[in-house]
Chain A
Amino acid sequence: MSKKTYLQAINEALRQEMRRDSKVILIGEDLVGGHGATGEVGGAGGPFGQMRGLYKEFGADRMIDTPISESAIIGAAAGAALTGLRPVAELMFVDFVGVCFDQIFNQVAKFRYMFGGNARTPLVIRATIGAGKRAAAQHSQTLHPLFTMVPGLKVAMPSNPYDAKGLLIQAIRDDDPVIYLESKSLFGMECEVPDEPYRIPFGEANILREGKDLTIVALGAMVPRAERAAAELAKDGISVEVLDPRTTSPLDEESILESVKKTGRLVVVDESPPRCSLAADIAGMVADKGFKFLKAPIKQVTCPHTPVPFAPILEDAYLPSPTQIEMAARSILD
């Protein structure tokens, strides 16, 4: 066991699964070297470095650098998954998903259902999400709600390095298509990560902090911010439970409802615009199934309904801050 960054955790998960199972292949843009390099020397391993060093070990047969065509990447990966491989495809930025909606929503998500359960689609689609990195509106979105609402897809969004490794290994071993969303702003985050391979089952929420006065449910990069808000509230004697669902599909409704039953108050934090967000989804679920537990209205903290701004000051203001989360919590406490 040693400390690893979120980025190293992703790299280690890919490496260990590729060693374990020769059917695991990677396909995407610039996985190897990028910028026209053959990749054999000094391969960057992707624009963020998640694949660093993998080409040297696994070679071109198992790491396919593609032209800039996301529809081709996902189409090829879908076919490979149907015919026996376990491809991990990369979209680099989730914002590029638009050109492969048909492959993902109409094909990949439907195979198992439309072939009467006889087809398996062990496909992982990795993509980065999130604002805060000065990457502008077309490289900064947090589109997990799009995937979450399509039956047939599983959606994981790790909020720390431990979860990043365990959820990615689970995603690769899963026989259904999994959308695995990496929060760009967490790449440098560090924590203890076991050296051995391990799996975190999908649909198991993580309770990061136990509390009795109020529940904060947060996802991805919003989790550290929620913890920060909880620490602030604790200074005033307010006991906050922080819960990270880890996967939005399946969603651990049971753990969320159990927490709300205990605390009676809920703030949901989501790094996506408010309409049809996971905040709205979870708030709706709790209003439907746990209304009797609530002592106060549910509060949603999200980004505003605008594209992600490029001006740094505006971009920082756009993201839900610990202070905003804290204010939302205070507004429903007596």
Chain B
Amino acid sequence: MPEKEHGVAAEHLVATLITPILMPKWGLSMEEGQIVHWWKSVGDRFAEGEDLVDIETAKVNNVYEAPLSGMLRRIVADVGETVSVGGLMAVSSEPDISDADIDAFISAFQESFVPKADAGSDSLALTRSRIHAGGHELEVGIAGEGDTVILIHGFSSNSQSWDLNLPTLAQRGRVITIDLPGHGASSKDVREGSLSDLATAVGTALDTLAVGGAHLVGHSLGGAIAMQLTLDRPDRFRSLVLVAPAGLPGGSVNRDFLDGIVDGQRARDLKPWLEMLFHNPDLVSEELIEEVARYKRIDGVEESLSVIRDHLVANGSFGHLANSLAALPPTLVVLGDDDRIVGSPNTAGLPDSWRVITLNGAGHMPHVERASEFNDVLTSFLDENA
């Protein structure tokens, strides 16, 4: 036994002479980094603060400076390899430590190392789940607690379009996002794809979640779906918020826009149509274009968007909504003054009890383009009707 104890003590001693060089954490959302370039080779000495290794992360590329002076004994992560934050990139020690001791140190480290499952994120964390709803699999996100707001996005969009509104809403209560059939992370086959079919799918998902007495917020196509759903289940919703909605009397649906999004095959073809969504077209980044292009490349998406488009442009697809506005609960309409997608609805013809707010300098995406004004208007309306 003394021999073993001696061995353990010696191991411990050796370990203190070996320094692990670990993947740093740059910024709240960094979970891992990829080795781009080692500035030192095995056997090289380095001084504290010297450039040691270039690391690439999802958001930044940077050089990692040596946290101490030493000698690079072993590179554990070669160029191109990805290492979790806190994971082992290399080992430093003086040359008198044997290779066998270095090996033992590395294998002991790797055995005990557990990467943190989720190193946190800048954006609001939604609890995600998938719900079966009438032949669809719908992706649902939930955050916060209390008075509940349900968010329904528009045509060819997804729940991420609410990213600038979610933190505010999750602070005041519970917020639920739903990816429509054929959209976002939901299943891509929309089947019939009519307004009532889409509304039924959303309603079924809300049944599963046992949501009652909630506020329903819909953007564009999602606005028409919200109206339909509220007419189908009049006692379910406390209030209705229509953001640049399709389906209001006097409004229109821009057929060229729908065709451009459905038919555009390449990212560059989609750009002019995405720019049409905003008052300020510079807001359309390459990332947004690429995101939509990536969505459109997925099997079934083009067919599904085409089916929904055909319903949207069919004559009279919204007629029944226009005739039933008085039956809706307290309703807020938020419009952009430069909306080239649904035009300018005839707000004078809306029920007197409705509140209509037009945000200046906004196109079809007022909740994105004028997010803070939108959030103020929305929360005060919700609070009044809570």
Contact = CB atoms under 8 A, between A and B. Distances in A.
A204 interface: yes
Interface stretch (B239-247, B261-269, B319-327): B261-269
B54 interface: yes
Contacts of A228: 36-37, 54, 56, 61
Given A194-B294, A224-B36, A201 B81 contact: no
A196 B266 contact: no
Nearest to A194: B298
Interface string B182-207: 00010010000000000000000000
A298 to B, nearest CB: 23
A149 interface: no
A198 B298 contact: yes
The CB with the most chain A CB atoms within 10 A, among B54, B61, B81, B300, is that of B61
B39 to A, nearest CB: 11
11 contacts: A162-B294, A186-B80, A188-B80, A189-B34, A196-B188, A196-B298, A197-B299, A224-B56, A224-B80, A228-B56, A231-B61
Nearest to A200: B297
Contact of A197 (B37, B54, B56, B298): B298
A231 B297 CA distance: 29
Contacts of B185: 1
A110 interface: no
B80 A198 contact: no
Nearest to A16: B299
B286 interface: yes
B269 to A, nearest CB: 10
Interface residues of A, number: 26
Interface in A189-215: 189-190, 194, 196-201, 204, 206-207, 210
A255 B268 contact: yes
A166 interface: yes
A239 interface: no
The CB with the most chain A CB atoms within 10 A, among B56, B81, B297, is that of B297
Interface string A222-233: 001001100100
B317 to A, nearest CB: 28
A201 B299 contact: no
A207 B290 CA distance: 9
B26 to A, nearest CB: 14
Nearest to A225: B36
A39 interface: no
Contacts of A224: 36, 56, 80
A255 B271 CA distance: 13
A1 B298 CA distance: 12
A322 interface: yes
B36 A322 contact: yes
A189 B61 CA distance: 15
B297 A210 contact: no
A184 to B, nearest CB: 10
A204 B267 contact: yes
Contacts of B299: 196-199
A204 B296 CA distance: 14
A322 B39 CA distance: 12
A185 interface: yes
Contacts of A231: 56, 61
A198 B294 contact: yes
Interface string A169-194: 00000000000000001101110001
Contacts of A321: 37
A204 B266 contact: yes
B286 A210 contact: yes
Nearest to A204: B266
Interface in B328-363: none
Contacts of B56: 224, 227-228, 231
B286 A201 contact: no
B161 interface: no
A197 to B, nearest CB: 5
Interface in B135-194: 185, 188
Contacts of A197: 298-299
Nearest to A189: B80
B19 interface: no
Contact of A185 (B54, B80, B298, B300): B80
A200 B54 CA distance: 31
B375 interface: no
Nearest to A169: B299
A111 B188 CA distance: 37
A189 B34 CA distance: 8
Given A196-B188, A198-B298, A228-B61, A322 B286 contact: no
B297 A322 contact: no
Contacts of B267: 204, 207
